[in-house]
Amino acid sequence: MLSFFREYKFFAIFFFCLSAIIMTIMYKVLQPKKVLPIYQPSMVNYEMVDSTIQYQSKYHKIADFSLVNQNGETVTQKNYEDKIYVADFFFTTCQTICPIMTDHMVQIQNATQTDEDVMLLSYSVTPQIDDVAQLKRYAVEKGVNDKKWNLVTGDKKQIYELARKSYLAVKTDGNGDEYDMIHTENFMLIDKKRQIRGYYDGTKPDDIEKLLKDIKVLKGEG
C-alpha cells in the first residue's frame, strides 16, 4: 500500500495543483463583475435636487456649461469630452469642510497624475468672491495641476443650475434668495457619457479610497 502512494505521489501533487488553478480560474470567471450605478434625480436626496426634476428616473446627464478657470480660460464640456472626472462645489474662503475636501482632491490628483483619462472639476459657489485672481492664488497655494484640475467661476445662475439640476449636489440656502446655495461635502464621479456614477463624502478618507477604486471600475467598462 505504501509503495502505491509513493508511486503516485507526484501525480497526486500535480492533480492537486491543477485542480487549484482550475478552481481559481472558475471563481474569477463566475464572479460577478462590479458595475457602478447610474444615478438619476429620483435616486438622490430630494433636498439636493431642483423640484422640476425630482421624479426623473432616466436619461439624466450633466448639462453643457461655459465658465472660466483659474487661468482665465473658458472651460466647457469640450474640455471633459471622453474623460472620467470628479466634480465638487466649494469656495476659497470656506474654513470648515472645504480645506479637507481640497486636500482630498489633491490626493485624487496625485493618485491619477499620469492617467490622462481622469480629470477634476471644482465649481465655486461664491463666484462674486472667487474671481480668476482669487482662484489662481488658491490653485497655487494648494498645488493644483492646471492640466488636470479646473477651478471654475462665472455666472451664479449657471453654477446654481448645474449644482441643482445636473450634479444634484447642493442645498438651497433656505432664506429665499435667488440662486443662493449651501454646498455639501459631496464629490461626484462622472463617466465619459456625462452620467453620475457615484457620490462620496469628500471629507472622509475611506470614501476617497472607494472613489479611486471606482475610477478603476469605470475604466474597466471601456
Residues 5-63: pLDDT tens digits? 455 455 445 444 445 455 544 444 444 677 999 999 999 999 999 999 999 999 999 99
Domain that holds residue 10: 1-31
| Whole-number Cα distances in Å, 41 to 80, 196, 198 | 22, 10, 13
pLDDT in tens, 147-169: 999 999 999 999 999 999 999 99
Confirm whether 36 is domain-assigned: no
Q: Return the CATH number at 57.
A: 3.40.30.10
Block residue for cell numbers 449651501: 182
17 belongs to an annotated ligand binding site:
no
> What domain count does the chain have?
2
DSSP lists the bridge partners of residue 188 as 87, 199
- Domain identity same for 79 and 20: no
CA–CA separation, 115 vs 109, rounded Å? Answer: 10
Q: 123 and 185, same structural domain?
A: yes
104 among annotated binding-site residues: no
pTM: 0.85
Q: In this structure, are 23 and 48 located in the same domain? A: no
The Cα–Cα gap between 136 and 151 comes to 8
Q: Given pLDDT bands bounded at 50, 70 and 90, which one contains residue 173? A: confident
Q: Indicate if 206 and 119 belong to the same structural domain.
A: yes
Q: Are residues 92 and 173 in the same domain?
A: yes
Residues 173, 52, 154, 196, CA torsion sign = positive
Name the DSSP class of 71: T
